[in-house]
Amino acid sequence: MFGMGLRHTHFPEILSRLEVNPSGLDLDFFEIITENFFQTNGRPLKVLEKIREDLPISFHGVSLSIASHEDLNLDYLQKVKDLALRIDPLLISDHLCWTGLKKNNLHNLLPFPYTEETLRFLVPRIQKVQEFLGRPLMLENLSAYLSFKESDLSEAQFLRELHTRSGCQILLDINNVYVNSHNQKFSPAEWIREIPPKAVKEIHLAGFSDMGTYYFDTHSCPVWQPVWDLYQKFKGDFPEAVTLIEWDEEIPALDVVLSEVQKARVYAT
């Protein structure tokens, strides 16, 4: 399965194409930013429900803040659950990060040290989220611009242990792996080999920006060739994973993004 990761911009065009020819987009699923559909009965939700008649929908959250040391936000989780009951999503995911505090959300996906202590803290929190939602939770590896001296595990080793102990699934963002490997000087292939194949249920592909001294994960351009190369090399190792093209800034015409989807189909074979 393949899909695209644009959010609201192309909703009307997607809907009109589906109405004319439900199979015309050559997509298998569509993904939303979960929080964009909380507490609304307006047109975006109606369009989403209409698209859902033809395509499965994946939820991708940005505010779970699973690694925060504050209590889980049960009001937030109830909103996710209510939307899930309405849409019946294919998958529910968020990021392995923290985003600030309840009263001061920084709207950034922030890293933390990968330690045994953090594992013991996170496992019961993830299990509580999964029990509350009644569904598996899928967590994504970050694009991070620093690492912590306190870490005694790599991010990939940490994700593997988190999956083993909590039962969570993994969203493997290959673009993030490549960006981090450049910025933090490690082998992206060795990183990916640490991830248990059956744990990965979704793969993200996106474009980054070369800032000269570092790479910046912007989702503002086509997928770079080194990321395609990693995808082609490892897609077969994750047979249960769907693939999503993300493009969230400087958004082009829909057909440009659909051409990236077709590239993913080619590289996956």
Give dist(CA 237, CA 35) in Å, integer: 31
pLDDT at residue 39 is higher than 90: no
Angstrom distance (rounded) from CA 5 to CA 32: 7
Percent of the chain topping pLDDT 70: 96
176-202 exposure pattern, b = at least 16 Cβ within 10 A, e = fewer:
bbbbbbebeebebeebbeebeeebbbb
Range of the domain at 139: 2-268
**The whole model's pTM is what?**
0.94
Going by C-alpha positions, the residue among 86, 95, 59, 236 that lies closest to residue 168 is: 95
134 burial level (CB within 10 Å; 0-12, 13-18, 19+): exposed
For the chain, give the mean pLDDT.
92
Using one digit for the tens of pLDDT, what is the confidence trace for 72-131? 999 999 999 999 999 999 999 999 999 987 777 777 899 999 999 999 999 999 999 999
Pairing of strands 242-245, 2-4: parallel
The Cβ-side half-sphere exposure at 17, using a 13 Å CA radius, reads: 14
10, pLDDT greater than 80? no
Report pLDDT digits (tens) over 56-68.
999 999 999 999 9
CB of 202 closer than 8 Å to CB of 243: yes
**List of residues 6+ apart from 1 with CB closer than 8 A:** 28, 29, 242, 243
Which of the four pLDDT bands, split at 50, 70 and 90, describes residue 25?
confident
18-22, 71-75, 151-155, 191-195: the lowest-pLDDT one: 18-22
Please give the share of the chain, as a percent, with pLDDT higher than 90: 77
The phi and psi torsions of 20 (rounded to 5 degrees) equal: -75, -45
Over residues 183-232, the pLDDT tens digits come to 999 999 999 999 999 999 999 999 999 999 999 999 999 999 999 999 99
Residue 80 maps to which CATH number? 3.20.20.150
Distance in angstroms (rounded) separating the CA atoms of residues 155 and 111: 10
- State the total domains in the chain: 1
C-alpha 181/C-alpha 196 separation (Å) is: 19
Per-residue confidence (pLDDT) for residue 37, from 0 to 100? 92
Task: Check whether 262 has a pLDDT greater than 80.
Answer: yes
DSSP character for 64? Answer: -
Residue of 197, 95, 183 whose CA lies nearest to 144: 183
* pLDDT tens profile 86-102: 999 999 999 999 998 77
Confidence of residue 11 (pLDDT cuts 50, 70, 90): confident
> Taking 90 as the threshold, does the pLDDT of residue 18 lie above it?
no
Q: What is the DSSP letter of 245?
A: E
* pLDDT of 23 above 90: no
Entry field: residues in the chain: 269
CA dist 244 to 35, 96, 192, 260, Å? 19, 18, 17, 10
Query: Please, which residues have CB within 8 angstroms of residue 190's CB and are 6 or more apart in sequence?
Result: none
pLDDT at 165: 98
